[in-house]
């Protein structure tokens, strides 16, 4: 949550809150690249996150309309997650981040090296 304060200082606050909460980018990218996945499979591919936290993030993404959840009350039960059109529309954002990173991450690392001294 970006605090209030002069909203003018951060007009992109809302989208940052929606997209860059922890674990949301790997979730969205995985669903974007790998298509519809059930819970365990998504969990396995992301790694490092607990079921509780993954569930929380997925609920939030579902609430925001970026992901859909389809539940099958079978035995054993099955839940499938899929990215929505709205979620897919974030593609250009992720592309611009990837582009910046591949072009400039080296400079950041160099700056960090200099900063040690």
Partner DNA sequence: CTGTATCCATCTAGATACTG
Partner DNA sequence: CAGTATCTAGATGGATACAG
Q: Which residues bind its own copies (CB under 8 A)?
A: 2-6, 9-16, 18-20, 22-23, 25-26, 29-30, 45-49, 62-66, 86, 89-90, 92-101, 103-105, 107-108, 110-112, 114-115
Out of 18, 23, 29, 46, the residue judged to bind DNA by CB under 7 A: 23
**Coil vs helix vs strand at 61:** helix
Q: How far lies 23's CA from each of 6, 19, 51, 81, 83, in Å?
A: 28, 9, 12, 15, 15
**Integer Cα distance of 110 and 54 in angstroms:** 34
Looking at the Cβ atoms of 67 and 90, the one nearer to DNA is 67
53 binds, options its own copies, DNA, none, Cβ within 5 to 8 A by partner type? DNA
Please, which residues have CB within 8 angstroms of residue 29's CB and are 6 or more apart in sequence?
94
Least Å from the CB of residue 105 to its own copies? 6
Any idea which residue has 């499979």 for tokens?
A: 41
Q: Give CA–CA dist 93/101, Å, rounded.
A: 12
Which partner, its own copies, DNA, none, binds residue 40 by CB below 5 to 8 Å per kind?
DNA
Give the interface with DNA as residue ranges (CB under 7 A). 1, 3, 21-23, 38-41, 48-53, 55-56, 59, 69, 71, 76-79
């Amino acid at each position: 949550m970006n605090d209030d304060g002069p909203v003018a200082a951060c007009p992109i606050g809302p989208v940052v809150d929606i997209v860059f909460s922890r674990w949301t980018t790997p979730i969205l990218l995985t669903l974007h690249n790998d298509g519809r996945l059930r819970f365990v499979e998504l969990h396995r591919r992301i790694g490092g996150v607990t079921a509780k936290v993954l569930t929380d993030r997925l609920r939030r993404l579902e609430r925001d309309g970026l992901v859909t959840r389809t539940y099958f009350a079978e035995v054993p039960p099955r839940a499938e997650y899929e990215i929505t059109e709205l979620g897919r529309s974030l593609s250009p954002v992720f592309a611009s981040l990837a582009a910046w990173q591949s072009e400039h991450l080296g400079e950041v690392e160099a700056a960090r090296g200099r900063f040690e001294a």
